[in-house]
Structure 1
Amino acid sequence: MRPVSERFLRTIRGSHQAVFEARVVAPGQTGVEPTGTTIPIASGDVHIDGSAQIRSTLEMTTLGQGMWPTRADDLLAPYGNEVHVRRGIRYGNGTTEWVSLGYHRLYTPEQDRAPDGPIRLSARDRMSGIIDGRLPAARAFPASTTRGAMLSALITEIHPWATIEWDDAAVRDGPIGRQIVAEQDRYAACDELVTAAGKSWWWDHRGVLVVRTPADAASSVWDVNHGQGGVLVSLSRRLTREGVYNAVVATGEGADTAAPVRAMAVDSGTQSPTRWGGSFGRVPKFYSSPFITTYSQAWAAAHAMLAKELGLPYSADFTAVPNPALEPGDPIRVSYPGRAETHIIDRMTVPLTVGGPLAASTREQTAVLIGSV
């Protein structure tokens, strides 16, 4: 969950004044208070999906009078400018506590009623630049190149100002282990490097590219409850085994090895509904990467991939009073008459106007244990 005060979390549960801001900024800034030009918000929301290549997308409508871009350097021209959005609470003493919802590169301004009708803006987070920025020629990285150096080289060619944060210096500074050739798809090369290291990566609310192991989901960070002082508006739920697996087999592929390293992580929790070898069955997923050169690397990749998926058969969609500090991957406690469950947020939509609820999709986090076979 993004950092907020206890006062913020208490105030959300009662009557409060929500405030919103959209600011067009030059590319390359970081932090939660960039400099730029504030534009009015007529409507809109930020959609955040923890499993998507582009984690955060912005759709909003602003006033159109005199704002339609006619030159490349105009404010709303989709040639590099970003929109930083935030949502907050204005307290009774006049102070405001803001929560940043991130930086979004302008992609499409649209106006149905020219010349002065409202302008709809579509924008995407900074990963869109990495996806767009395909490599014009193949690039070889020697085996001695560190993971951090390879990722930085591929990222800073597109975003020279990028700040990259790894949560593990040993992983960042370890060598890739064999010569790697990055082909046309820049994003795919970066994603494989990070995934093979057992990490996830995204541009966070500060405009920083973070490379992290998913946080432990043992305890909830927010209660989504009904009744007095509650925030739950509506809840629907479903069970499905479609697309669910309970093991990951990770191998290291490469022309330099006759017998690639291999590791297999399985759901071995005795109380897990998807236990490997239990009534759910045996449903493995396979992953291979040239970045995997040791058993420990294969195990880390398999473990991380499986950990992100466990609990998926039971999922829920809910709407609630918005808490903009929540993020995909956050564990929350969902309670309704007769039942309370711990869920992990997979994706969510944060409204940029008063009256709209937060909408989220989750999966239940069951008590699991990941073992090897």
Structure 2
Amino acid sequence: MRPVSDRFLDAVRGSHQAAFSARVVAPGQTGVNPTGTDILINGGDVRLDGDAADGVRSTLDLTTPGKGMWPGRATDLLAPYGNEVFVRRGIQYAIGQTEWVSLGYHRIDDIDQPDAPDGPIQIAGRDRMAGIVDGRLDRVRSFPPLTTRGAMLATLVTEIYPWATIEWDDPFVRDAAIGRQIITENDDRYKVCDELVKSVGKIWWWDHRGVLVVRTPPAATAPSWEVNHGQGGVLVSMARRLTREGAYNAVVATGEGADTATPVRAMAVDASPQSPTFWNGPFGKVPRFYSSPFITTYNQAWDAASNMLAKSLGLPYSVDFTAVPNAALEPYDTVRVRYPGRSELHVVRQLTVPLTVQAGMPASTREQTRILIGGA
């Protein structure tokens, strides 16, 4: 969960004055208070998706007054040629006292004015991963075995964003060599970076500060927030679903590459008898397979397999709820969902933070069961 005070979390549960801010900024800034030009917000939202296939975790849909704002030149404020929109939502405690929560930086991708020339302008934006996805490799690249993981990722990222700040949660993993020559045989920059990160059991995204973070998926331990009915509650509505679709209970991770006669291999399974997807239970055996040229040791294969499996355990029971907005919540946060007769731990997968006072915050989760991952 993004850093906020206890006062903020308490205020969400009662009557409070929400505040909103959107600022158009030049690319290259980081932090939670960049310089730029503030624009008014008529409506919109920020959608966060921890499972996005293209890695774009945060997308923006914002409507602003359009009179005199339509760009006539490439350098104009809303022209989709590199400028970003930095968005915040907060709580105003008193005049001049607002606690803000950053919702991140979003590159302006599209603008639309259905009622020209003076009607509202609709802005669509995506976080900085969109630049990595768009910035396809223009030639085959080769990285020698002694290249560190951190150096390889930095090279591929800073070719697109020379000013990028990259944070790894484990310097040892960052500074270890990739171990074999890597030749990029396709032009997909994002895929190469994603394989590098996944091969060591990490996930990566551009966070609310505009920083590229590389992290181990967070463990579902104590809940960071409670979504509940009743007095002081924030739960507005809830729906739930049971399905086998997209569920698996094992991951087989292997290395690949011409310089390895026998690729390394590791298999992680759901080893908890209490889990609904127990490997040796009635759910059946449903493995997923993953291979990467970056996997050169058994430990790397195990880390990749176990962390990929940990991200999915808890399926197939999922809950969708709408709550009073808490802008501090993020994908992979653990929440306690409490309603009459039941209390459950869930991991947030997607959520939408509204930029108006009228709307609630829809979120999708999966139930977190006891995690016990074993080998097979």
Same fold (TM over 0.5): yes
The one-letter code of the counterpart of 2:288 is: K
Residue aligning to 1:55: 57
1:143 Cα deviation after fit = 0.8
For residue 132 of structure 2, the aligned residue among 130, 133, 150 is 130
- 1:169 aligned to 2:171? yes
The one-letter code of the counterpart of 1:80 is: G
Q: Distance in 2 between matches of 1:335 and 1:95?
A: 32
- What does 1:102-251 align with in structure 2 at a 5 Å threshold? 102-182=104-184, 183-251=186-254
1:114 Cα deviation after fit = 1.2
| Secondary structure of residue in 2 paired with 1:257 | coil
For residue 81 of structure 2, the aligned residue among 75, 79, 82 is 79
Q: Distance in 2 between matches of 1:23 and 1:312?
A: 39
The one-letter code of the counterpart of 1:43 is: G
1:277 Cα deviation after fit = 1.1
Residue aligning to 1:345: 348
- 1:336 aligned to 2:339? yes
- 1:278 aligned to 2:281? yes
| Secondary structure of residue in 1 paired with 2:345 | strand
Give the conservation status (yes or no) of the 8 Å contact 2:310–2:371: no
Q: Distance in 2 between matches of 1:219 and 1:364?
A: 14
Residue aligning to 1:258: 261
The one-letter code of the counterpart of 1:4 is: V
Deviations 1:178-197 (A, max 9, x none): 11112300000000000001
Q: Distance in 2 between matches of 1:291 and 1:368?
A: 26
- 1:33 aligned to 2:29? no
- 1:360 aligned to 2:350? no
The one-letter code of the counterpart of 1:135 is: L
Q: Distance in 2 between matches of 1:352 and 1:114?
A: 23
Q: Distance in 1 between matches of 2:50 and 2:246?
A: 17
1:29 Cα deviation after fit = 0.4
TM-score (norm 2): 0.98
1:289 Cα deviation after fit = 0.6
Give the conservation status (yes or no) of the 8 Å contact 1:250–1:298: yes
1:243 Cα deviation after fit = 1.4
Deviations 1:241-286 (A, max 9, x none): 1111000000001111111100000000121110001111100000
Give the conservation status (yes or no) of the 8 Å contact 2:277–2:315: no
The one-letter code of the counterpart of 1:107 is: D
Give the conservation status (yes or no) of the 8 Å contact 1:31–1:206: yes
Please, which runs of 5 or more residues in structure 2 have no aligned partner?
Answer: none
Could you list the structure 1 runs, at least 4 aligned residues long, displaced by more than 6 angstroms after superposition: none
The one-letter code of the counterpart of 2:64 is: T
Give the conservation status (yes or no) of the 8 Å contact 2:146–2:178: yes
The one-letter code of the counterpart of 1:127 is: M
| Secondary structure of residue in 2 paired with 1:29 | coil
1:93 Cα deviation after fit = 5.5
Give the conservation status (yes or no) of the 8 Å contact 1:271–1:368: no
Deviations 1:125-167 (A, max 9, x none): 0000000000110100011100000000000000000000000
Q: Distance in 2 between matches of 1:338 and 1:367?
A: 21
- 1:15 aligned to 2:15? yes
Deviations 1:302-325 (A, max 9, x none): 011000000020001000000000
Residue aligning to 2:24: 24
Residue aligning to 2:72: 70
1:368 Cα deviation after fit = 2.1
Aligned CA RMSD, in angstroms, stands at 0.6
Deviations 1:209-243 (A, max 9, x none): 00000111111000000000000000000000111
Residue aligning to 2:291: 288
Q: Distance in 2 between matches of 1:104 and 1:257?
A: 42
1:92 Cα deviation after fit = 3.1
| Secondary structure of residue in 2 paired with 1:318 | strand
The total of aligned residue pairs comes to 373
Deviations 1:331-370 (A, max 9, x none): 0000111001000000000000111001000000011200
Q: Which of 173-182 and 322-331 deviates more?
A: 173-182
Residue aligning to 2:327: 324
Q: Distance in 2 between matches of 1:187 and 1:102?
A: 20
| Secondary structure of residue in 2 paired with 1:346 | strand
Q: Distance in 1 between matches of 2:227 and 2:81?
A: 40
Q: Distance in 2 between matches of 1:292 and 1:216?
A: 23
- 1:371 aligned to 2:374? yes
| Secondary structure of residue in 1 paired with 2:153 | helix
Identity of counterpart residues, as a percentage? 71
